[in-house]
Structures are given as C-alpha cells and as structure tokens.
Structure 1
Amino acid sequence: MSAENRKYPRRRVLKSGVVIFNNRHSTMDCTVRNLSEGGALLVFARPPTLPERFSLRFEDGSEFPCRKAWQSAMSIGVAFLNVEAAPPPSAAPPAQAAEPRREPVEVRIGGTVVYATGPDGSAAPPLDAERKAQVMKALADALAQIGAA
C-alpha cells in the first residue's frame, strides 16, 4: 500500500519507547521510528517475542494499548487500539525536564583544596599563578607520600 492510500499519514520520529506486557510484569525497550494517529513502527535491539496485544509507553510517560499489525526480524508495526486517544504524530521532542540542582564540589589533596565549585555548583574560576603553584606543590607532596609508602 502506498503512503497516499494510508488512512493515517505517517511521520518519521525518533523516540524511546517501552513495550509493556505479561500483566505489566515484562517490558522491552524499543525505538519508535514512525508514528501516525493509527499506529507506529517499533524497532528493537534484538528480535522481539511479544504477544498480540500489549501497551506502548512513550518517554513522556503516556501509554497506549496496541496490537501487532505485522512483524519482521527486528521490527513490529503496531495499530493503536483506541485511535481517538492515540498520540499525535508530532515530530517535536518532549519537553525537557528541569535541570537537576547542582551541588558544590570540593577536591582536596592532603589538606589543600585543589578544586572547588561555587555554592550553586557553578564552575570554579581559573587558578591564578600563586594558587596554581600551591596546587602543584600539594600534588607533588601527595605523590611523594604515595611513592614512599
């Protein structure tokens, strides 16, 4: 069947998905390669062994009941069972989660702080010549102690 005869036009996408089956006791990761209001193309890292019906969960947490329409060695075409609730075939990536809060970092050699970030986790300022000399001496002293042990 040509693309013009399809009931729902496909859009190329590259999304992570998880197939859920066996009364929600089993999962299998997949990549969603195309998507329409009526179904999707799922690609797997290894040959999938799946039941005829299962759920497909997208990376945004949305989940849709599916049935196998066809299968090849590493791919499965699925039809969404509830087309009215099917995902929109948007190629736009999902909204990014807020960036995790960064914690301050402090690295010491011996008792000397050789690297530290700001209280908000921001990068440490570059070392001036005097501070760089202190860090290099602390490092040399620590290496000498290791060599003596």
Structure 2
Amino acid sequence: MSIEQRKQPRLRVLLKGRIHFNNNSSSIDCLVRDMSPQGARLMLSETATLPEKFDLYIPQKERTYRASLRWRREDGIGVTFDGGETATPDAAPDLTVSALLRRVGELEAENASLKRRLADMIAAAASANFD
C-alpha cells in the first residue's frame, strides 16, 4: 500500500494535452488522466525521452503549464506544475459568447479533421483488401 505524498488529491480527468520542449521545436501528444493545481499524471503514446522541464498545453482549458518531470513508469509520467498562481488549473473559464463561438468553431474543425482522417483510413484499408 502506497502512502499519498501529494498536498492535494488529483481529480480524475480525461483531457487532450501537448508537451512542448526544445524551445517549442519538439512536441508530443498526451492524455491528462489525473490533475490537481500542483500537478498531473500524463499518458504518452510515444516512448520519447523528455527533459526535466517542459510546457504542457491543454487546449480544452486554453492553458499552458510549466511542468517538471517527477516520475516515469511504463504507463505514463507524473509532473508537478511550476509557477504558483499562474499554474492553477481551475481558473474560471471564459464564457463570453465570442469565446464560446470560437470554441465551437475549433471543435467543429477538429471533428471535420478527424472525419477526414477516418475516411482516409477506411479508403486505405479498402484499397489494401483489393491488392
């Protein structure tokens, strides 16, 4: 049985994230699985070597957190957020009409992109079956 060492418990979430490093010249997609104001647990699809410090961008929150790598396991990594008040993840969202319309537009564009990728994959699978 492990002893909880966090100051605040992490809440279970499922958010898309992107890790940026090497002066934003490198990036990796990730899933944010647990999150608190002090840190998060991230799932990575790639087994890349990450630096000790990097930026974590979460599009749904429209926030970038400066993160420090704390632990690494086969199924993910744990990070703490640097920067005190600027890293608080539960800030009030922008609910203005223009912000909501912008967000709807972003989601529609992402949905269209995913539909195109799915159609391309289906077409590639169909052509592979005929070869």
Q: TM (normalized to structure 1)?
A: 0.57
1:10 touches 1:89 (CA, 8 Å); kept in 2?
A: no
Identity of matched residues, %? 35
Q: How far 1:72 moved relative to its partner?
A: 1.0
Equivalent-residue separation in structure 1 for 2:3 and 2:85 (angstroms):
24
Per the alignment, residue 45 of structure 1 pairs with 45
The Cα of 1:73 is off from its aligned counterpart by: 1.9
Q: Do the aligned partners of 1:47 and 1:74 also contact (CA within 8 Å) in 2? A: no
Where does 1:63-142 land on structure 2 (aligned, <5 Å)?
63-88=64-89, 97-99=103-105
Per the alignment, residue 8 of structure 2 pairs with: 8
Amino acid of the structure 2 residue aligned with 1:69: R
Any runs of at least 4 consecutive aligned residues in structure 1 with deviations exceeding 3 A, and if so which? none
Question: Which residue in the other structure is 2:119 paired with?
Answer: none
CA distance in 2, matches of 1:40, 1:9: 10
Unaligned ranges ≥5, structure 1: 101-149
Query: What whole-Å deviation, never above 9, does each CA across 1:54-113 have from its counterpart, x for those lacking one?
Result: 0000013310111101011231100001132223359xxx9682355xxxxxxxxxxxxx
RMSD: 2.5
Query: Which protein is bigger by CA-based radius of gyration?
Result: 1
- Work out whether residues 13 and 33 of structure 1, in 8 Å CA contact, stay in contact via their aligned partners in 2: yes
Higher share of residues assigned helix:
2
